[in-house]
Amino acid sequence: MTAPPDTVPARDDAAVIERSRHEPERFGEIFDAYFAEIHRYVARRLDVQTADDLAAETFAIAFRRRGAYDGSRANARPWLYGIATNLIGRHRRDERRKLRALDRVDRRDTALDEADALTVRLSAEGVRGPLARAVAALPSGQRDALLLVVLGGLSYEEVATALDVPFGTVSSRINRARKKLRTALGGTNPLLDDQERP
């Protein structure tokens, strides 16, 4: 799967990031090029209000780490998705810790665990029932890889960069996720492209 044409950079992101080391305002080009896309991804994984904060934090972290950016990678998109995915994971862990603490002080508020919360979010986007439950039940590594491809539109190579894992690991995670989803849906594969459907 390749990136949609509107997300392929017309510039060399590595060169822009390199220049931003001496001219910090140049990093605005990276922000302008990718903020809306990263925000959409986080909003689809969490919610719009949280996406406002985490998308902004993604770029704040990227700006602080721009000195360590791998200049051999002309496209900063996978790097930014990796930062956003890590922030999503941290947000969920922090949320679970907070909810457990609230529970310990005997609050009567009930909270959704990560899988239930993902099911609710996916349902809100029109993905219903067994598929939402199956995606929510995937191990986090498989779910992250799958959702980077499906929601983020990243290629397997970009997912490998984003998650800082080998290409083979991405292929394996997505293959396992597809098998689990297919089994959960009674043998149908919801991830087939239109041209692959019988």
Please give the pLDDT value at position 132.
73
pLDDT(103) > 50: yes
pLDDT digits (tens, 9 = 90+) for 48-95: 999 999 999 999 999 999 999 999 999 999 999 999 999 999 998 877
In this prediction, residue 127 has a pLDDT band, given cuts at 50, 70 and 90, of very low
Would you list the DSSP string of the chain? -PPPGGGS-SS-HHHHHHHHTTSGGGGHHHHHHHHHHHHHHHHHHS-HHHHHHHHHHHHHHHHHTGGG--TT-S--HHHHHHHHHHHHHHHHHHHHHHHHHHHHTT-------HHHHHHHHHHHTT--HHHHHHHHHS-HHHHHHHHHHHTT---HHHHHHHHT--HHHHHHHHHHHHHHHHHHTTT--TT--GGG--
In this prediction, residue 194 has a pLDDT band, given cuts at 50, 70 and 90, of very low
Please give the pLDDT value at position 32.
96
Please give the pLDDT value at position 70.
93
pLDDT digits (tens, 9 = 90+) for 135-183: 878 898 998 999 899 888 999 999 999 999 999 999 999 999 999 888 8
